[in-house]
Amino acid sequence: DDTAISELNFDGTGVHCFVAGTKVKMANSEEKNIEGLKENDFVLSFDKKTNTFKKTQIKKLAKQIHSNLYEIQFEKSKVIATDDHPFYFEGKYFSVIENSKYVATSKLQVGNFINTFKDNKIGKEKVISITKLDRKEMTYTIIELEENDLFIANNILVKTEKLANLK
């Protein structure tokens, strides 16, 4: 089973990632650590056109070393992500820093709501805190899914992102 994972050392807008231990919702409703995902695994994705969750296959993954990490605490969950990772809420994207390089995001702020996966349907949680972390760490992301561009990380809806330097 060959899996191509690109490794980059990058701290700039455009490479959006999560730390090891982030739980990704699989198509069979189980959760798997993001660092354990493999190409061709099936995850649960969100179809924005139909507002439904669907099984889809991972096409590309990447891992990068980052130091632009933030812990984002929601009402019932938390995630550690890069400052430019897009979070989804009702048709719009938010990230700790505004970004327009690959997808337009607004600044994520305490009090904002983000869509979640709850009881097999879409829910929402409020952002409680956003904390800059002073460390460098290997991070992981799904670059491309067979269909849809939203997956579930720690029960939060997040966007995939194709990297400019990976074909």
Q: Does pLDDT of 165 surpass 90?
A: no
Two tokens, residue 160: 């995939």
Look at 136 and 102; give whichever has higher pLDDT.
136
Residues 8 and 14: beta-carbon distance below 8 Å: no
Q: Does pLDDT of 163 surpass 80?
A: no
Q: Does pLDDT of 68 surpass 80?
A: yes
* CA 24 – CA 43 distance, rounded (Å): 8
Tell me the average pLDDT across 61-68.
Answer: 92
Q: What is the pLDDT of residues 90-122, one digit of tens each?
A: 999 999 998 877 788 999 999 999 999 988 899
SS3 track for 18-72? EECCCEEEECCCCEEEHHHCCCCCEEEEEECCCCEEEEEEEEEEEEEEECCEEEE
Look at 1 and 159; give whichever has higher pLDDT.
159
Q: Does pLDDT of 14 surpass 50?
A: no
* CA 106 – CA 94 distance, rounded (Å): 5
Q: Does pLDDT of 166 surpass 60?
A: no
Cα-trace Rg, the chain: 14
Q: What percent of the chain has pLDDT over 70?
A: 87
Question: What single DSSP character describes residue 119?
Answer: T
For residue 127, what are the CA distances in angstroms to 110, 124, 131? 5, 10, 11
Tell me the average pLDDT across 68-88.
Answer: 95
Q: Does pLDDT of 58 surpass 90?
A: yes
Question: What single DSSP character describes residue 108?
Answer: P
Q: Specify the pTM.
A: 0.87
pLDDT at residue 119, rounded to an integer: 86
Q: Which is nearest to 61 in space by CA: 32, 41, 90?
A: 41
